[in-house]
Amino acid sequence: MRRGRIYIFLILIVVVGLGVAFLAFGRLLPGLTAQETPEITFVDIVISQQSIPQGAEIKEDALGTMSIPQDKYVTVMIRQDEIGEIVGKVARYPLEPGVPLTQSMIVESTAAIALEGPQWASIIPPGMTATTIPTTRLESVAFGVSKGAHVNLTACMLFVDIDPSFQSSLPNNIGTLVAPANVPPGDMPGVSLILNSSMFEGVTGPVQGRTEVEPSYQQGIYIVPGEEQRPRMVCQMILQDVVVMRMGTFPLTEAAQVGSTQSPEEEVVTPIVSAEIPDLLTLIVSPQDSVALTYLMYSGAKLSLTLRNASDESRVATESATLQYLLSQYNIPVPAKLPYAVEPRIDELILPFLPNDVITVNTEE
């Protein structure tokens, strides 16, 4: 009995000790937790709440605030309590919404701004350049191309045979050298060139042909062309995944006239609105591609665009399209010469008239 009482006292002592230890640890735990997770301090900085063009006056309604941790704050940033110091000043650079403002972005007046080119030049990546080509509704995917679109560019050209020395289109004109009757053979003074009439418009003499043997009578004949040389057309995709910088003309501005009584702050900028139907297209290309496009444009090549997905970065090796390629690739047969034909005769392909087509009426007659 005595030994059992001793065990009970020991158990009671252990339980009481555990309770005291638990209470002491509970009081110390909040202090330890506070030391492990220090309090984060935030700083309110000024940001642009809407787009602010370069050189524009900074107004209070265009500004906002954002809270950032104290360790992320940089002294060049503008704090919320300094917002009154920048209102009325101007932006040195174009500011997009949500951009934290710094002291270097703000200047006292427009005279301190170094305007280096137009604002849209800043979107051209380094090493690239912007070039403009003419376009129409058909060549620009029915005006489905707009700013930021990714396109492929196809060029179509016409080729003719030329004389390497004359650099003129074949066939050459020919003439006859005729000497006076009293000039002995071998002496050529007074030789004149006689050009006969030609079947070609603007040509003063016969054209160069070739000699063949007529198969039925085995007689030699001289064959000349029945018409001028027909150019041969070829089309090829020359550029892929090109970014469109702008569709149409860039906006122009004109300030108040020199000598105006208005102050610089009161000058009115009047935008010049471009034509509704765009006829120009500006592309962002490499300098070498801009040279090639300039050559194609001035050489009379026809340029057309195809629209592609902006996320598609693939490149496809295409074959040039010629008459021979189309006949073989798409199994197009050359029509046979039949003893009958449709009436009326078809000399050119004319698109069917559509209800939405515009009819041009000549009112001068």
d(CA 30, CA 77): 37
Of 36-50, 119-133, 251-265, 304-318, the range with the highest mean pLDDT is: 304-318
- Tens of pLDDT, residues 4-28: 666 676 676 766 667 666 666 666 5
Long-range contacts of 114-123 (CB under 8 A, 24+ apart): 115/54, 115/55, 118/250, 119/53, 119/54, 119/94, 120/245, 120/246, 120/250, 122/94, 123/245
Predicted confidence at residue 287, as pLDDT, reads: 94
Confidence at residue 79, expressed as pLDDT on a 0 to 100 scale:
87
What's residue 83's pLDDT? 84
Residue 131: what pLDDT? 94
Mean pLDDT, residues 312-330 taken together = 93
Neighbouring C-beta atoms of residue 101, cutoff 10 Å: 23
Under a CB-based contact definition with an 8 Å cutoff, are residues 47 and 98 in contact?
A: yes
Tokens 């370069």 map to which residue?
54
Local confidence band at 74 (pLDDT 50, 70, 90 cut-offs): confident
Using alpha carbons, select from 154, 126, 119, 138 the residue that is nearest to residue 246.
Answer: 119
Average pLDDT of the chain is 78
81 φ/ψ sector (left φ>0, alpha ψ -120 to 50, else beta): alpha
pLDDT in tens, 155-188: 999 999 999 999 999 988 887 666 565 555 555 5
Helix, strand, coil in percent for the chain, rounding step 5: 20, 25, 50
| Local structure of 244: helix, strand or coil | strand
Instruction: Specify the fold of 42-116.
Output: Type Iii Antifreeze Protein Isoform Hplc 12 (3.90.1210)
Q: What is the pLDDT, as a whole number, of residue 267?
A: 44
Share of the chain above pLDDT 70, in %: 71
Give the pLDDT score at 102: 87
Domain spans in the chain, listed from the N-terminal domain onward: 1-32, 42-116, 129-159+233-256+268-329, 169-230
